[in-house]
Amino acid sequence: MAQDKTLGKGEGVGMGRKKKREAIYQSLFEETKKQIALVYLPGTMAHVKLHHLELYDEVLSTEMRLDDLWRSMREGKDTLGQFEEALQTWKELHLRAVDLYREQRDRKEEEQGSLLFEKV
């Protein structure tokens, strides 16, 4: 069997699989980001950082886990299942953060509305 002389130049059989794997991870990541963006409210993470530090730390920890899994994939390790689980966790954490922020924002609006009503 002839040896592929381009392997040392970043091309060849292994590169095709690597690019395909990376495309799968990228696609999954982008889809998860879109799902979060559909419900995300500006100011959510600032609120969570101030009032729910444990949740904020979980989000950061999960993001670091995603980075580690992505890096492992690029090194040739099969981390797809773990990556999908971490993406699901990341999404759930963001959804929880949005719910907490929305509840706080709604409470604040109710309080302001009742104060206006009392002044009338």
Instruction: State residue 113's pLDDT score.
Output: 64
Q: Given a cut of 70, is residue 78 above it in pLDDT?
A: yes
Give residue 68's pLDDT band: very low, low, confident or very high (50, 70, 90). Answer: very high
What are the b/e assignments for 16-51, b being 16+ CB within 10 Å? eeeeebeeebeeeeeebeeebeeebeeebbebbeee
This prediction has a pTM of 0.78
**Domain ranges in the chain?**
24-119
Measure the CA–CA gap between 99 and 51, rounded to whole angstroms: 13
Q: Given a cut of 80, is residue 41 above it in pLDDT?
A: yes
Give residue 108's pLDDT band: very low, low, confident or very high (50, 70, 90). Answer: confident
